[in-house]
Structure 1
Amino acid sequence: MIDDTIISLSEKSIQNNISFLRSKLGDKVKISAVVKANAYGHGIEQIVPVFNKYGIDHFSVFYYSEALRVYNCLSKTASIMVMGWLSEKDIKDAIEKGIEFFVFNMERLQLAVKYAKELGVKAKIHLETETGMNRSGLNREELNAAIAIVKENIEYIELTGFCTHLAGAESVSNHFRIQNQLQRYQEMASELEANNLTPKYKHVANSAASIVYPETRMDLVRVGIMLYGFWSSTEVFVQYINNQEYRVDPLNRILGWQSQIMALKEVKSGEFVGYGISYLAQSKITTALVPVGYSFGYSRSLSNKGRVLIRGHQCSVIGVVNMNMMIVDVTHLKKVEVGDKVVLIGKQGKSEIKVSAFSEISDELNYEILAHLSESITRRVIK
């Protein structure tokens, strides 16, 4: 772990976001917290116990390795759902541990039956259907074949869920496509009903769909980005806020990111700073070296563009962002010392650096920026 650079996680903000989502989605809708990609960069081991503490008892991941991390850090009993990759060995282990998983092809369903029989334990599966995303899922013909297999092996299969993934609910440009998907999903759900199969959860909605299309909430919502205090897109936020009497963002950012000054240097006028010739000192300047670079998730595209906070003031990143370091212009600060706190994301005094500031400069989605935060950075939950 890197102890001179810290990612802080606000427990109060977590509690706030969960409370807001519960008030918005209602008590009958199960919230499945999506914690893939190291909990969107926040840290699985740090965030899951806090989500769990405030009543989240269902978690979604992509890789089986993530499922095991969740499994090993739960503070209370909860369900875990793998939406993506499992090896054949993982399927057997998942069944044994009671971990739920998506079935989006016949091969996985057959393996689920095989190992459930071998272990004498029911496999908890979610049948994923292809409704127009054209990524993963069972088409109608495959669904009918899957239904037959489930019915034949009902003592070994628990139909925990019936789901699909919507293709871009965060943008109104996809509205027609989303409507077609929902129609196909309902038609395919009717096939289950006709065969007397009732899944525990019907689910299609992510964060965006749960706000934009209330009818998609069904039994369970797979909520990711909103739990961490971000909106899926500006469109989703505008749609929500325009229907509110008090136009205040109800979500709180959880994550803060800070480091410290490791060295100071005086640079003469006319000298280049850092690699290459991208920054030329136009006058005598004072620079601060910060031990954060692109290997930690601070994008190289922020070279000569990024901003940080030191002693409550914005300071510019100058020169090329290195693998492990960046250089900051601190000439305008009246007082600055080695060891001073450097805020990369978060508040200091009356100033704030938001993740959206990174997005605007680097042209990366907030999802990308968060997911790129290195797992080697120390993460701490702050009360």
Structure 2
Amino acid sequence: MIRLDDLTGDVAGLTPGPVFAREFDAFAHDSRNVRGGELFVAVRTSRADGHDYIADAVARGATGVLAEDRRDLAWLGARGVTLVTVDDVRLALRAWARRHLAHLAPQVIAVTGTAGKTTTTKAIATVLTHLDSDNIAHSGISTVFENDNYNDLLGLPLSLARLGPAHRHAIIELGTDRAGEISALTDLVRPGIAIVTGVIPDAEPFATDPETAIAEYLSILTHAPALAILNRDDARLHQYATTLNPVCGNTQFLWIGTHPEADIRATDITATSDGLSMNVQIGRDIHAVTVGLHGTHWVPTVLATVAVARHLGHGIEKVIDALASIRPVSGRLRPLSGSCGMRLIDDTFSATPASVEAALDALGAFPRPRMVVLGDVGDASLPAPTVASLGAHLARVADAVIAHGDVADAIVRAARGTPGPSGSLHTVHTRAEAVARIRAIAGVPADGGAERMGDQAPRRWTVLVKGNARARMEGVVERLLANPSCAPELLVRQTPGHVTGIVRPGHDRPAWVEIDLGAIASNLNAIRAAVAPASVMAVLKADAYGHGAVRVARTVLAGGATFLATAVLTEASTLREAGIDAPILVLGHTPPWQARTAVSLGVAVTLFDLDSAHHLSEAAIAYGRKVHVHLKVDTGLHRIGLGPSEVVAFARLVSAMPGLVMEGLYTHLATADDADETFAQQQLSRFNAVIDEWREASLPRPRYVHALNSAGALRFPGARFDLVRPGIALYGIDPGPETPLPATFRPALSLKTRIAQIRVVDAGETVSYGRAWTATSATRIGILPIGYGDGLRRGPSTWGDVLVRGRRAPLVGRVCMDMCMVDLNDSPDARPGDEVVLIGRQGMQSITADDVARQSGTSAYEVVCQILARVPREVVDPDTGWGT
């Protein structure tokens, strides 16, 4: 409960009024999570401004608003909503929290450390609740408060609204992602008992060295708590903490761990699929303990819980009995019942290298078969030795591995080269694809039903699902639950804000591309249905037309494409390096000096001259391999290829060369996307004449005869032959102005940025280089951090419009290398940080690559292919829009 009088104490710049409600049930800082009777806190962050969501919060039932800006809020009075403004909302919340804690005066037990904070906090709260169960049963009110992972300088004050007079103990988790935060939190809560679970310096982005990380966490001792419980197994923590005794005054240091010098020591530790057992030694006494946590890394949690309960005066036998009530926390190695008897282990809250190692150790205690579904690990790429170590661990523990994300894929590729039992290694790019792969490996029907399987029920797999917060791997767990409707109670990140929210890009650029692989899969299905029985060769030139060749390759192969095509050998090499072993045809010129590389990669090569043929033959002989070749026939495009009259003679010579296999014969149309079919039909007639001459010469028919690109595949059914080569259509882009795709096709690429700054330019002022644009009236100009260095066309015609808050806004002035400017006069509510769409949909408006092409006088092919590699690609989930 929050009382207005308590909130409006000695706070800088406070201006109350109008005042209606004087008491509030809780704080809310995300308008999507507001419940009736709550006080909405308008917080400004680096991502958004809470003041923009006040109206939404009030519409959802907020009866009060705490804000920093009174402008445009007079309407709150008419709605009967209390308004309080202050200079700094965060400082006001902290001041309130300090007063609230001082007034209620619970026993504060603070927990911090790199890992294990939440589980330790929950374990202590569970045990103390159990030990006080008689009082709780009598009063019906819990005497133990814990702050539910709201552990920073914003979240902690918000959570303390639930702290009430009945709470004798406040178990408070303290977290940090910057130097000085633990000290500030400690100053706020003044713990009587302080716990440091351990410090992993490499996992702390704010720490320049181990000492900085350790000092940060040990600042929890700043106000000399009565008891400090520290992990003796952390040698650096022990070394540093021993120097703090004079500073900490009368603080009692109590060391826990497996180290012989620990005050409370664990020995004979055993981890099984049922939980964790150990002997706990306190002085000369030894006590057998069993808890329902999985993995030996939870030993400090158990020992810290024992230490707290003992310090508070509880007898050891009762404490041991209470320990049995501890259960895993959501998203932290929590076993769950999966469909068709699968045992799920949900470890989706976060993923660091250390926590992945711990999770794999815990998985090793479960019976085989074991599967690991791994999302990305950490917040950036990992050092090669770390990747190798994780890969080796995976290979030892898992019978199947599914990787979701670039870092996870690197770990799985490391596992492929490691001896071990792991024999089923896969990479996927959406959570839906991960679920399908899990079910296929485990032998579970696509609908998860087991009742029809009878005696064919699959073996019981244990499936560990883990990934960082951005990977949102809880979405995988949800789809595999025996009862998915229980997800809100069982899984992490299930509030409305998490469920409906878009995960912000996790990269360093404020401009990015979003790729919908589900759209590509859907477009491929439509093409396959249209061209059957012909096969599909998916064209991945120019990094899959800017969409990401490796991801697209895996998507189309999973969707039924039988062949891949690249423009040059280096593109094919990239696919092979990513572990893609499907057939690949290099459509362009492969110079003689690349012959050996082509043979070693096992790719098919386009052939049209004898010099290249001889070099390929020599390379094939040198490697003791066969190399597949496709003869290219120039039927009128007049690029690389053989003239129709040259083909049969050339084919006889190539057929006699050792090491070469004549796998294909193909041509390419110059005007497949033109409304006038005349020239395309002439080319096809010439190609058919070559096929007839080939047959009359009694040459063996190549396995693959092909002629059609995207437009041709959809327009000329009589010329589909053995396979078609769709490129642009796979990505949901019209092959040309006169050949639109069917309405069922979906664009797969969006290009986005954010407003960096908004400035007002007076009439007569000019914008950007060359003073090419002049404001005719006062104009709000938005500066966007994207330019021609990212692929945004500069001229002679520019991009045209972009979308801001669902409305079109024109670019003005010349596009710069790294920036461009946009007229925001028709978007008066636009703010810095707002998302801007250059290609894609926002609200009811959309801008397609074809729209941009028409505006800038080029083709949609060029628009998407010119988006440079420095613009990061984000795969989005087709179901939710979440980054994947």
State the TM-score, normalized to the length of structure 2: 0.40
Code of the aligned partner of 1:109? A
Structure-2 residue corresponding to 1:217: 720
1:10, distance to aligned residue in structure 2 (A): 0.9
Query: How many residues matched?
Result: 370
SS, match of residue 209 in structure 1: helix
AA partner of residue 373 (structure 1):
I
Query: Quick one: which of 326, 336, 344 aligns to 2:830?
Result: 336
2:729 to 201, 209, 226: 226
Change (3 A) 1:167 1:333: closer
Alpha-carbon spacing, 1:42–1:2, altered in 2? closer, same or farther (3 Å): farther
SS at match of 2:827: coil
Cα drift, residue 163 of structure 1: 0.8
The answer to whether the Cα contact below 8 Å between 1:127 and 1:162 also exists between their aligned partners in 2 is yes
Aligned partner (choices 308, 317, 321) of residue 815 of structure 2:
321
C-alpha distance 305-8 of structure 1, shift in aligned 2 (>3 A): closer
**Distance in structure 2 (CA, Å) of the matches to 1:128 and 1:267:** 58
Which one has more relative contact order, counting CA pairs under 8 Å at least 6 apart? Answer: 1
1:26-65 alignment to 2 at 5 Å?
A: 26=532, 28-65=533-570
SS in 2 for 1:177: helix
Render the CA deviation track for 1:81-128: whole Å, top value 9, x for unaligned.
Answer: 101122323221212221001101122112222222222211100011
Is 1:192 the counterpart of 2:686? The answer is no
Q: Secondary structure at the match of 2:585?
A: strand
- For each residue in 1:174-209, what CA deviation from the matched residue of structure 2 results, as whole angstroms up to 9, or x when unmatched? x33322322222222234332332211000111111
Relative to structure 1, the CA distance from residue 335 to residue 141 in structure 2 (aligned partners, 3 Å threshold; closer, same or farther) is closer
Partner of residue 151, structure 1: 655
Change beyond 3 A, Cα 1:183–1:336: closer
The CA deviation string for residues 136-167 of structure 1, in whole angstroms up to 9 with x for no partner, is 212255323322223323x5221110111122
Provide the secondary structure at the position in 2 that maps to 1:276: helix
Question: What's 2:767 paired with?
Answer: 273
CA distance in 2, matches of 1:47, 1:89: 29
Q: Distance in 2 between matches of 1:258 and 1:321?
A: 16
Distance 1:280 1:141 in 2: 61
Of residues 301-310 and 219-228 in structure 1, the stretch that sits farther from structure 2 once superposed is 301-310
Change (3 A) 1:208 1:201: same
Question: For the structure 1 residues 359 and 141, does the alpha-carbon distance in structure 2 shift closer, same or farther, using more than 3 Å as the test?
Answer: closer
Task: Give 1:305 deviation, angstroms.
Answer: 6.4
Partner residue of 2:805?
Answer: 311
Q: 1:9 to 1:131 in 2, by over 3 A?
A: same
- Given the alignment, which residue of 665, 668, 674 partners 1:165? 668
Alpha carbons 1:31, 1:56 under 8 Å: kept? yes
* RMSD between aligned residues: 2.0
Specify whether residues 150 and 376 from structure 1 end up closer, same or farther in structure 2 by C-alpha distance, changes over 3 A only.
same
Q: Secondary structure at the match of 1:370?
A: helix
The answer for the alignment partner of 1:244 in structure 2 is none
SS of corresponding position for 1:96: helix
Aligned to 1:127: 631
Taking a change above 3 Å as real, the CA distance of residues 15 and 144 of structure 1, as seen in their structure-2 partners, is closer
2:522 to 3, 6, 16: 16
Task: Specify whether residues 357 and 368 from structure 1 end up closer, same or farther in structure 2 by C-alpha distance, changes over 3 A only.
Answer: same
Deviation for aligned residue 1:2: 5.7
> 2:592 touches 2:611 (CA, 8 Å); kept in 1?
no
1:79 aligns with 583
State which structure, 1 or 2, has the greater radius of gyration over its C-alpha atoms. 2
1:51 shift after superposition: 2.1
Q: Confirm or deny: 8 A CA contact 1:64 1:82 kept in the other structure.
A: yes
Please tell me the residue identity of whatever aligns with 1:57: T
CA separation in 1, counterparts of 2:777 and 2:668? Answer: 55
Amino acid at match of 1:41: G
Tell me, yes or no, if structure 1 residue 291 matches structure 2 residue 785. yes
Instruction: Name 2:704's counterpart in structure 1.
Output: 201
- Maintained 8 Å contact 1:170/1:209: yes
Residue 131 of structure 1 aligns to a residue whose secondary structure is coil
Unaligned residue ranges in structure 2 (runs of 5+) = 1-506, 878-884
- The whole-number CA distance in structure 1 between the counterparts of 2:821 and 2:590 is 42
> Are the equivalent residues in 2 in contact too, given 1:309–1:342 (CA < 8 A)?
yes
Q: Partner amino acid for 1:58?
A: F
After superposition, the C-alpha distances for 1:279-330 in whole angstroms (9 at most, x for unaligned) are: 1122222211101111211111387762111122211111111111001112
Letter paired with 2:715: V
1:166-181 matches, cutoff 5 A: 166-173=669-676, 175-181=677-683
Are the counterparts in 2 of residues 31 and 220 from structure 1 also a CA contact under 8 Å?
Answer: yes
User: Which residue matches 1:95?
Assistant: 599
Give the AA of the match of 2:556.
Answer: F
Alpha-carbon distance between aligned partners in 2 of 1:314 and 1:132, rounded to the nearest angstrom: 42
